[in-house]
Structure 1
Amino acid sequence: MATTTTAAETSDPAAAPARHLLVVPYPTTDHMQPLLHLASQLATAGLRLTVVATTANLHLLSPLLAEHSSSVSPLSFPSFEHDTSGPTSVGADIHGLAALREPLGEWVRARSGGDGRVVAVLSDFFCGWTQPLAAEAGVPRLVFAPSGVLATAATHYLFRRMPKPPPPDAADADGREYAVEFPALPGAPSFQWRQLSRMYRSYVEGHGGEHAEAIKHNFLWNLESSAFVCNTSRALEGSYLDAQPLEDLAGRRVWAVGPVAPESTGDESAGEVTRWLDAFPDASVAYVSFGSMMALPPPHAASLAAALERSNTPFVWAASTATLPDGFEERVAASRSTGMVIRGWAPQTAVLRHRAVGCFVTHCGWNSVMEAAAAGVPMLAWPMAADQFFNARLVVDEARVGVTVSLGSFVHVPDEDELARVLGEVVGEAGGELRARAMELAARMAEAVGEDGSSRREVDGLVRELWNLGSRS
Structure 2
Amino acid sequence: MSHSTHLLLYSFPGSGHIIPLLDLTHLLLRRGLTVTVMITAADTALLRPLISSHPSSLHTLLYSEPQITPSPHHPLISKVISTQKLFDLIAQWFHSHPSPPVAIVSDFLLGWTAQLASHLGIRRVVFSPSGAFSSSVIHTLWRDITEINAGNREGDERFLIRLRDVPGSPEFPWWQVPQVLRDYRDGNEDLESFRNGMLGNMTSWGIVYNTFEKLEGVYLDYMKRLVGHDRVWAVGPLLPEEDSPIGVSGRGGSSAVPLDHLFTWLDKQRDESVAYICFGSQVVLNENQMSALTSALERSKVCFILCVKASGPSSIPSGFGDRVANRGFVVEGWVPQLAVLRHRAVGSFVTHCGWNSILEGIASGVMFLTWPMIADQFANAALLVDQLDIGKRVCEGGPEIVPDSVKLARLLDESLSGDRPERVKIKELNHTATKSVKKGTSTRDLDTFVKLLSEI
TM (norm. structure 2) is 0.90
1:245 corresponds to? 224
Letter in 1 for 2:271: D
Farther off after superposition, 178-187 or 146-155: 178-187
1:47 to 1:165, Cα distance in 2 relative to 1, 3 A: same
* Residue 283 in structure 1 maps to residue 279 in structure 2: no
1:257 corresponds to? 235
Matched residues in 1 for 2:398 and 2:63: separation? 39
Matched residues in 1 for 2:306 and 2:453: separation? 42
Check whether the contact 2:130–2:210 (CA below 8 A) recurs between aligned residues: yes
The counterpart of 2:263, out of the listed 249, 269, 274, is 274
Farther off after superposition, 277-286 or 385-394: 277-286
Aligned pairs for 1:317-466 within 5 A: 317-320=306-309, 321=311, 323-327=314-318, 330-333=319-322, 335-429=324-418, 431=420, 433-451=421-439, 453-466=440-453
The counterpart of 2:25, out of the listed 39, 52, 56, is 39
Deviation digits for residues 237-260 of structure 1 (CA, Å, limit 9, x no counterpart): 12212445242x566732100011
3-state DSSP class of the match of 2:241? coil
The counterpart of 1:65, out of the listed 28, 31, 51, is 51
Deviation digits for residues 90-117 of structure 1 (CA, Å, limit 9, x no counterpart): 1111111110012212322344xx6x13
Deviation digits for residues 49-85 of structure 1 (CA, Å, limit 9, x no counterpart): 111112332332212211211101001246x55489x
1:161 corresponds to? 144
Give, in angstroms, the shift of residue 21 of structure 1. 0.8
Give, in angstroms, the shift of residue 325 of structure 1. 4.8
The counterpart of 1:177, out of the listed 152, 155, 158, is 158
* Residue 139 in structure 1 maps to residue 122 in structure 2: yes
Letter in 2 for 1:136: H
* Residue 223 in structure 1 maps to residue 202 in structure 2: yes
Matched residues in 2 for 1:251 and 1:389: separation? 29
Deviation digits for residues 420-465 of structure 1 (CA, Å, limit 9, x no counterpart): 121122123353x3212111110000000012x0000011000001
1:271 to 1:246, Cα distance in 2 relative to 1, 3 A: farther
Letter in 2 for 1:324: S
Check whether the contact 1:122–1:144 (CA below 8 A) recurs between aligned residues: yes
Matched residues in 2 for 1:94 and 1:271: separation? 40
Farther off after superposition, 236-245 or 90-99: 236-245
Matched residues in 2 for 1:244 and 1:200: separation? 20
2:174 corresponds to? 193
Check whether the contact 2:126–2:206 (CA below 8 A) recurs between aligned residues: yes
Matched residues in 2 for 1:291 and 1:266: separation? 17
3-state DSSP class of the match of 2:126? strand
Deviation digits for residues 155-185 of structure 1 (CA, Å, limit 9, x no counterpart): 1222222242467786xxx411112222222
3-state DSSP class of the match of 2:157? coil
Check whether the contact 1:185–1:246 (CA below 8 A) recurs between aligned residues: no
Give, in angstroms, the shift of residue 218 of structure 1. 2.4
The gaps in structure 2 that reach 5 residues or longer are 251-257
Matched residues in 2 for 1:100 and 1:76: separation? 11
Check whether the contact 1:166–1:175 (CA below 8 A) recurs between aligned residues: no
1:122 corresponds to? 105
1:223 to 1:243, Cα distance in 2 relative to 1, 3 A: closer
3-state DSSP class of the match of 1:27? coil
Check whether the contact 1:270–1:350 (CA below 8 A) recurs between aligned residues: no
Check whether the contact 2:125–2:205 (CA below 8 A) recurs between aligned residues: yes
3-state DSSP class of the match of 1:164? helix
Farther off after superposition, 310-319 or 141-150: 310-319
Letter in 2 for 1:129: W
Matched residues in 2 for 1:434 and 1:419: separation? 17
Deviation digits for residues 389-426 of structure 1 (CA, Å, limit 9, x no counterpart): 11111111111110111233333212111111211221
3-state DSSP class of the match of 2:238? coil
Letter in 2 for 1:164: I
Deviation digits for residues 16-55 of structure 1 (CA, Å, limit 9, x no counterpart): 9521111111121110010111011111111111111123
Deviation digits for residues 175-220 of structure 1 (CA, Å, limit 9, x no counterpart): 11112222222111111111111111112499x8x84334223213
Check whether the contact 2:158–2:175 (CA below 8 A) recurs between aligned residues: yes
1:169 to 1:397, Cα distance in 2 relative to 1, 3 A: closer
1:158 to 1:356, Cα distance in 2 relative to 1, 3 A: same
Letter in 2 for 1:457: R
Q: How many positions carry a matched residue from both structures?
A: 437
Matched residues in 1 for 2:193 and 2:42: separation? 23
Deviation digits for residues 360-383 of structure 1 (CA, Å, limit 9, x no counterpart): 000000000000001000000110
Matched residues in 2 for 1:324 and 1:312: separation? 22
Matched residues in 1 for 2:325 and 2:223: separation? 50
Matched residues in 1 for 2:41 and 2:215: separation? 36
1:308 corresponds to? 297
The gaps in structure 1 that reach 5 residues or longer are 1-15
2:14 corresponds to? 28
1:19 to 1:391, Cα distance in 2 relative to 1, 3 A: same
Letter in 1 for 2:238: V
